[in-house]
Structure 1
Amino acid sequence: MNETGKSAGSPMGLDSVNFDNRCGHFPATNEQEELFAWLIDAGLKGGTVRELFTEFCERLISQGVKLKRGNIALSAIHPQVSAFMYTWRRGEGLVTNTNFLHSEEPGEGWFASPFFFMLTNKLTFLHRRLDDETELDFPVLVEFKNEGLTDWFCQIFDFGWGFEDQTTERNAGLITSWASDRPGGFTDEEFRILSRTIPVFGLAAKGIASFRTARSVLETYIGRETAQKVLSGQIRRGSVDSINAVLVYADLKGFTSLTDVTGQGDLVEMLDQYLDCMACPIEDAGGEILKFMGDGLLATFELSSTEPDEMQKICETALHAAETMMSGIATLNEKRQQSKQPTMGLDIALHVGEVMYGNVGSETRLDFTVIGPAVNEVSRIEALCDILDTRLIASGDFVRAAREAGAALTSCGFHELRGVRAPIELFCHG
């Protein structure tokens, strides 16, 4: 390579190629290579699989491929969604955008589909002509034939993600299918274009999906804001920022005693129900759940400034979220009592202060969390709920910052907190 990044004496006039609107990683000399270049560039830059798929279909059309229908199904590593599916039609664009949930059982159509047949028999390619007299072996292909499609094939790509749940429908990374309405089906030239470009499309889709999967997993386990910090490279051990925040510490009452008398499956299902009532109000209000600690959680509402109006607004938001948590728990308990199921109570503490937010841990295992006196104090405050016979306690710092929003809280005097030098004033709810 010379200083310009071009190969000296390169053949086929590559030195004269204009790279302004091309992928410099793969200099193209013809239309089909331009499609390769675009796929490489798209896979490297990111975007969404939906956008990639839509434009890929349109670019195939521009190269003379008489594609009528394209369909892709992408496996997902997501707490609710098991796969995403998109369908494109010529002249209509993207016509379906479907999410398949873990809770959904596959229907009869799936078990009668060519995709299930291919996965079961470990096939990565299947081709069927739709315009001859051959009897079609899958109901969906009969439907395609009746719609006027003449040719169909499917290609499957394993992303190597190694799902622990190795059910047949989870083994694939990307399932693609392509159909034409050209009389006589796809031509040899069209097959040549498709066979060369679809695998590159699969690789680009994996590149995009892998990053989005990483973000989804991180957001699920460490929260949206923290995930963004990690993905932006803030992962150096000891890297911390000081922030002002409202702290919410919530803990379920009676969980430990129930572990001895409740089956494992029922226990986990019950805990999930209660944690939903606790977590959703915080997330809906813009808070960040930092940790689930067995039967409790620690969350923050970051203060962008210490201006009185800003602090009052955030404290009011946090207090409303806490009240919604208690209301949700009460409603859940009523339903569980009606069905003679065990119930639990909820204790909540609210505090405000400066905390250190960042990476702590060992050389090989880090935790992105908050540390500092305010964190210790909020946990000590929550421990006093039983003593003060209340379900929610707020610190004096919180109430003063909340101003009028804290009017519903009543002083319950000064109390000593373990490890804290001076007694602090606490306020009870109700």
Structure 2
Amino acid sequence: MQLSSTLSWLVDAAGEAPGADRLLAEVGARLVTDGIPLAGGALTLAVPHPLVARRTWLWRAENGEVIEAFGFAAEGLAALGAASSHGDEGRRWLAHLAAGPVHEDVVGSGPDGPSLGWIGPRPFTPGEVDALRQVARFAVAPLAALAARATLTAALEAYLGRRSAARVLAGPLRRDIGETIQAALLYADLRGFTTMSESNPPAAVISALNDWFDRIAGPVHAFGGEVLKFIGDGVLAIFPVVGGSPRGACDAALRAVAAARTGMAHLDEARRREGLPPLPFGAALHLGEMLWGNIGAADRLDFTAIGAAVNLVSRLEGLCRPLGKVVLVSGTFAAETSASLIPQGTHVLRGIASPCAVFTVPEN
């Protein structure tokens, strides 16, 4: 068998692969062309993600398909019988692959290094095993580059959100770099947080904040939005307008708020059973344009959204307590949603030049 072209590709071009899935598929296809019988392969990388410590991609030789699998209990191919995030089809595929002979290499140094594994339709010969080991040695540099990019992306997404992280990675690190976008905005925060933080130990306060953020951020992401900021006990999120019509973004924001209220109701019930007070909150929704980009000092930047729409939604949330409502909606937002809303009159908001028509959602 001849591996020269595969090894040359690993040295010269593999580091530019757009992702782990494409690198795995390309290496697998090249090995098949080189004469090594493969049924499939797997590539596992350690990534500092808040929820997933390691990510594994599975490649199927017969059609070149690659899927990502989660929940592996052990490293590499030792857990090929685990459930895939792709449901029954993924489980059937894993069972098929796991039935074949396995060869796996830890690429680089240390037990937490990337692993590259292969499954054959028959046991690999000593010559084929040597060839696969040689491929693993040549894969050290491109996989290190891939892991570094994956680590950077995961860190930025964890702290900035997926859309904002992509913009930071794509743009220059300079002030005044950004764009004006239209979005449905959501601003929500807890009531009585200052009193709670002064009367409870820090660990209890942090636990309560994490529970609250889980129940507001989860629905935001589930309905296509993105959390831009955690501000003390507050959350600023956006649902960008796509395709010219704001209705989809506004309806998604309303559904996210409804889901968050349901989640908080369950949380409050659990807290009551533990003898803890509930966590009341207020939320405001608005539709408008904002500058989405870099601001800050010359050598310390923040990627965020600023503008009149951001100011209005935060001021509108401040009306929740005096009006006795959990959710308030601006007239601009109300005009674009298909939901049935209840008028609450026109109100002057602190620091906002024009009075704002205010609505709320029907209570169940």
TM over 0.5: yes
Paired position in structure 2 for 1:429: 361
Q: CA deviation at 1:288?
A: 2.0
Q: CA deviation at 1:258?
A: 2.4
Paired position in structure 1 for 2:5: 34
Q: CA deviation at 1:46?
A: 1.6
TM-score of the superposition, structure 1-length normalised? 0.67
Q: Does 1:213 align with 2:148?
A: no
Counterparts of 1:220-299 in structure 2 under 5 Å? 220-299=158-237
Structure 2 residue identity aligned to 1:186: P
How many angstroms apart in 2 are the aligned matches of 1:374 and 1:210?
A: 37
Flag structure 2 segments of 5+ consecutive residues without an equivalent: 79-98
How many angstroms apart in 1 are the aligned matches of 2:183 and 2:63?
A: 49
Work out whether residues 82 and 100 of structure 1, in 8 Å CA contact, stay in contact via their aligned partners in 2.
Answer: no
- Within the candidate set 362, 375, 383, 2:318 is matched to 383
Counterparts of 1:127-276 in structure 2 under 5 Å? 154-158=105-109, 172-176=112-116, 186-187=126-127, 191=130, 193-276=131-214
Q: CA deviation at 1:250?
A: 0.5
Work out whether residues 186 and 313 of structure 2, in 8 Å CA contact, stay in contact via their aligned partners in 1.
Answer: yes
Structure 2 residue identity aligned to 1:99: F
RMSD of aligned residue pairs (Cα, Å): 3.6
SS at match of 2:247: helix
1:345/1:154 CA distance change after superposition, 3 Å? same
1:48/1:357 CA distance change after superposition, 3 Å? closer
How many angstroms apart in 1 are the aligned matches of 2:65 and 2:225?
A: 35
How many angstroms apart in 1 are the aligned matches of 2:100 and 2:323?
A: 74
Q: CA deviation at 1:83?
A: 1.3
TM-score of the superposition, structure 2-length normalised? 0.78
Paired position in structure 2 for 1:46: 17
Structure 1 residue identity aligned to 2:348: E
Q: Does 1:416 align with 2:338?
A: no
Q: CA deviation at 1:277?
A: 1.3
Describe the superposition over 1:185-228 as per-residue Cα deviations: whole angstroms up to 9, x where unpaired: 624x963x445432221222222333233223222221222222
Paired position in structure 1 for 2:95: none
How many angstroms apart in 1 are the aligned matches of 2:275 and 2:177?
A: 49
Describe the superposition over 1:302-345 as per-residue Cα deviations: whole angstroms up to 9, x where unpaired: 23466xxx233432332222222222211221222123233201
Paired position in structure 1 for 2:327: 392
SS at match of 2:335: helix
Work out whether residues 295 and 301 of structure 2, in 8 Å CA contact, stay in contact via their aligned partners in 1.
Answer: yes
Structure 2 residue identity aligned to 1:366: L
Work out whether residues 42 and 52 of structure 1, in 8 Å CA contact, stay in contact via their aligned partners in 2.
Answer: no
Flag structure 1 segments of 5+ consecutive residues without an equivalent: 1-29, 114-146, 160-170
Structure 2 residue identity aligned to 1:290: L
Percent of residue pairs identical: 32
SS at match of 2:54: strand
Work out whether residues 287 and 300 of structure 1, in 8 Å CA contact, stay in contact via their aligned partners in 2.
Answer: yes
Work out whether residues 44 and 207 of structure 1, in 8 Å CA contact, stay in contact via their aligned partners in 2.
Answer: yes
How many angstroms apart in 2 are the aligned matches of 1:305 and 1:86?
A: 33
1:100/1:243 CA distance change after superposition, 3 Å? same
SS at match of 1:299: strand
1:222/1:334 CA distance change after superposition, 3 Å? same
Structure 1 residue identity aligned to 2:289: E
Describe the superposition over 1:75-117 as per-residue Cα deviations: whole angstroms up to 9, x where unpaired: 112111111346779989999964347xxxx7xx88xx9xxxx
How many angstroms apart in 1 are the aligned matches of 2:147 and 2:321?
A: 48
1:341/1:32 CA distance change after superposition, 3 Å? same
Counterparts of 1:258-407 in structure 2 under 5 Å? 258-304=196-242, 310-402=245-337, 404-405=338-339, 407=340
Q: CA deviation at 1:290?
A: 0.9
Q: CA deviation at 1:64?
A: 5.3
- In the comparison of the two structures, how many residue pairs are matched? 339
How many angstroms apart in 1 are the aligned matches of 2:292 and 2:66?
A: 44
How many angstroms apart in 2 are the aligned matches of 1:424 and 1:179?
A: 64
With 207-216 and 344-353 compared, the bigger mean Cα shift is at 207-216
Paired position in structure 2 for 1:166: none
How many angstroms apart in 1 are the aligned matches of 2:60 and 2:167?
A: 39
SS at match of 1:417: coil
How many angstroms apart in 1 are the aligned matches of 2:215 and 2:119?
A: 47
